[in-house]
C-alpha cells in the first residue's frame, strides 16, 4: 500500500514567545517536527511531505529525513489550506494519505500502524480520544452502525452532544484519491475565514463513504504544543516514559524523575544510575554499570562492570569492561579505553586509545595518544599534541611509568618499560627500559634572603 504522510509544520507559534519557529523547539534534544518525521518514516512505503511557512528556511535547515518533499504555505489559513499546499504531490496517486502535525511530537509508531490498518477497511479514519472533560474540543458523533457521522465543535454542539466524551485529535488517514478530490472543494465560509480539514468528514458522509475512528493507547501521544508550559509538560512525560522503560529492563534509577534521556539508549541489567544524569544521542550501557550523579554521556558505549563517578562527561567514546572513570573526568571524542583502565579526577582525554589496566589518575591531559597496557601516567602530565597548526601523536608502549608533571612533546614515542622523571619535558623518543630525565639541574642558594614587605 502506497502511503503519503503530510506533516503540517507552518505555524508561527506566537505563544512560544520565541524567534524560533515553534516546530523546531526541542523535546528531549530533538526538534518537535523531527520526532514526527522520524516516527512517520518508520512506516512502510511512506513518502513524507512537509508543509512549512513561518521561518521556512530555518525549518528546512534543521529538519532532516529521507526524501522529504517541501511545500510552502505563505498564509496560514487553516489546516485544510495547509494540506492543500501539498496537493501537487498527492494528485494522481493511489493509496492512503496520513495527516500529522509538527507540534504533536510524541505520536507513536504503534498508534499510526493501527490507524493505517483501519484505513485498509475504510475510506477515512480519524484518530480520536476519549476524555473525562472534553470541554472545548470537537465531538465525534457516531451513527447507529458506530461509523463516524460528523465532528461537531463544542460551541455548536447541543446539550446532548456535549455529553459525548470522544473528541477529534486532527490526525487522520484518508484515501489519497478522495482527499485530492475533496481538498479543492473546501470553503472558508466561516467566522475565521479559514479552510478546515474537519469539513472533509461532512463531504465523506454525504458521498456515502465509510468513516471510522481509531484511538491511541495514551492521551499524551496526541497532545500538541502551543506554549513553553506545554512543551515542558510533554518533556516531563517523555522522560517519565523513558525512565519507566529503563526500570522495566532491569536498571535501577535512584530517582526516575531526575534523569534525562535525549536519544536512543540501550541499557543492560543491574545498571545503577544516580540523579541528574543526561544520556544523549546513541548510548549503550551494558550490565552492572554504575553511573554516579551529574554525569553526561553522549554517543558512547559503556561496557559491563564499569564505574562512572560523579560529574564526569563522556562524549563519542568507548569505555571497556570494568573501567573506573572520574570523578570530574572528561572523555572527549575518539577516546577508547580497554578493560580495567582508569581515568581519574580532573583528567581529560581526546582521541586517545588507552590499553588494558593503564591508569591516568590525576589532573592530566592525554590527547592524540596511544597507550599500551599497564601504563601509569603521573599527575599533571600533558601530551603536547598541537603546534598551533597541526596535531601530532604520542605513543607510549606497555608498562611505561610517566613521572608527575611530564610534558610529552609530540611526535614522540616512549618504549616498553620506559620511565620519565617527574617534571621532565620529553622531546625525543625513549627506548625500551630507558629512564629519561629532562629538567634543569637543581641549585640551592644558602645566602639567599627572602623578600620582606616594605613599610
Contact predicate 382/367, CB 8 Å: no
Measured between alpha carbons, how far is 291 from 258 in angstroms, rounded to an integer?
13
Measured between alpha carbons, how far is 169 from 256 in angstroms, rounded to an integer?
30
DSSP string, 16-39: G-SSS-GGGSEETTEEHHHHHHHH
CA distances from 410 to 331, 350, 365, 396 (A): 20, 14, 13, 11
| Other CB atoms within 10 Å distance of the CB of residue 256 | 17
Positions marked active-site: 362
Measured between alpha carbons, how far is 324 from 95 in angstroms, rounded to an integer?
55
**3-state SS class at 399:** coil
**3-state SS class at 349:** strand
Of 108, 128, 127, 110, which Cα lies nearest the Cα of 119?
Answer: 127
Measured between alpha carbons, how far is 75 from 90 in angstroms, rounded to an integer?
21
Instruction: State the virtual CA torsion across 394, 395, 396, 397 in degrees, nearest 10.
Output: 180
Element (H, E) at 57: helix 56-62
Helix, strand, coil shares, percent, the chain, to 5 = 20, 35, 45
CA distances from 377 to 272, 359, 403 (A): 29, 6, 7
Element (H, E) at 242: helix 228-248
Amino acid at each position: 500500500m502506497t502511503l503519503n504522510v503530510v506533516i503540517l509544520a507552518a505555524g508561527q507559534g506566537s505563544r512560544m514567545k520565541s524567534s524560533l519557529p515553534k516546530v523546531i523547539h526541542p523535546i528531549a534534544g530533538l526538534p518537535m517536527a523531527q520526532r514526527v518525521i522520524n516516527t512517520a518514516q518508520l512506516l512502510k512505503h511512506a513518502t513524507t511531505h512537509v508543509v512549512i511557512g513561518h521561518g521556512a528556511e530555518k525549518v528546512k535547515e534543521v529538519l532532516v529525513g529521507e526524501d522529504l518533499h517541501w511545500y510552502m504555505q505563505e498564509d496560514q489559513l487553516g489546516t485544510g489550506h495547509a494540506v492543500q499546499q501539498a496537493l501537487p504531490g498527492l494528485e494522481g496517486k493511489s493509496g492512503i494519505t496520513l495527516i500529522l502535525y509538527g507540534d504533536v511530537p510524541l505520536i507513536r509508531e504503534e498508534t499510526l500502524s493501527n490507524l493505517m490498518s483501519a484505513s485498509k477497511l475504510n475510506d477515512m479514519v480519524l484518530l480520536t480520544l476519549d476524555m473525562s472533560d472534553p470541554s472545548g474540543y470537537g465531538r465525534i458523533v457516531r451513527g447507529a452502525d458506530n461509523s463516524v457521522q460528523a465532528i461537531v465543535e463544542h460551541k455548536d454542539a447541543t446539550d446532548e452532544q456535549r455529553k459525548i466524551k470522544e473528541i477529534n485529535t486532527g490526525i487522520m488517514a484518508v484515501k489519497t484519491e478522495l482527499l485530492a478530490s475533496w481538498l479543492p472543494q473546501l470553503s472558508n465560509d466561516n467566522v475565521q475565514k479559514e479552510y478546515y480539514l474537519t469539513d472533509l468528514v461532512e463531504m465523506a458522509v454525504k458521498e456515502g463513504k465509510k468513516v471510522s475512528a481509531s484511538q491511541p493507547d495514551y492521551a499524551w501521544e496526541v497532545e500538541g504544543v502551543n506554549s513553553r508550559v506545554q512543551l515542558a509538560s510533554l518533556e516531563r512525560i517523555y522522560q517519565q516514559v523513558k525512565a519507566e522503560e529503563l526500570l522495566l529492563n532491569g536498571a535501577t534509577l535512584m530517582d526516575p524523575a531526575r534523569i534525562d534521556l535525549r536519544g536512543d539508549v540501550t541499557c543492560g541489567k543491574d545498571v545503577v544510575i544516580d540523579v541528574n544524569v543526561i544520556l544523549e544521542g546513541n548510548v549503550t550501557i551494558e550490565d552492572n554499570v554504575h553511573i554516579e550523579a551529574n554525569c553526561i554521556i553522549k554517543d558512547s558505549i559503556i561496557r559491563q562492570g564499569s564505574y562512572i563517578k560523579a560529574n564526569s562527561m563522556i562524549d563519542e567514546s568507548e569505555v571497556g569492561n570494568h573501567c573506573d572513570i572520574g570523578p570530574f573526568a572528561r572523555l572527549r571524542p575518539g577516546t577508547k579505553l580497554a578493560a580495567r583502565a582508569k581515568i581519574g579526577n580532573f583528567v581529560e582525554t581526546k582521541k586517545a586509545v588507552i590499553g588494558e589496566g593503564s591508569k591516568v589518575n590525576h589532573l592530566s591531559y592525554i590527547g592524540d595518544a596511544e597507550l599500551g597496557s599497564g601504563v601509569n601516567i603521573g599527575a599533571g602530565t600533558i601530551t603536547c599534541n598541537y603546534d598551533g597548526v597541526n596535531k601530532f601523536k604520542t605513543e607510549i608502549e606497555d608498562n611505561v611509568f610517566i613521572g608527575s608533571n611530564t610534558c610529552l612533546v609530540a611526535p614522540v614515542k616512549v618504549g616498553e618499560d620506559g620511565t620519565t622523571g617527574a617534571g621532565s619535558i620529553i622531546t625525543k623518543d625513549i627506548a625500551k627500559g630507558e629512564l629519561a630525565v629532562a629538567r634543569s639541574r637543581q641549585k640551592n642558594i644558602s645566602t639567599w634572603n627572602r623578600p620582606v614587605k616594605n613599610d
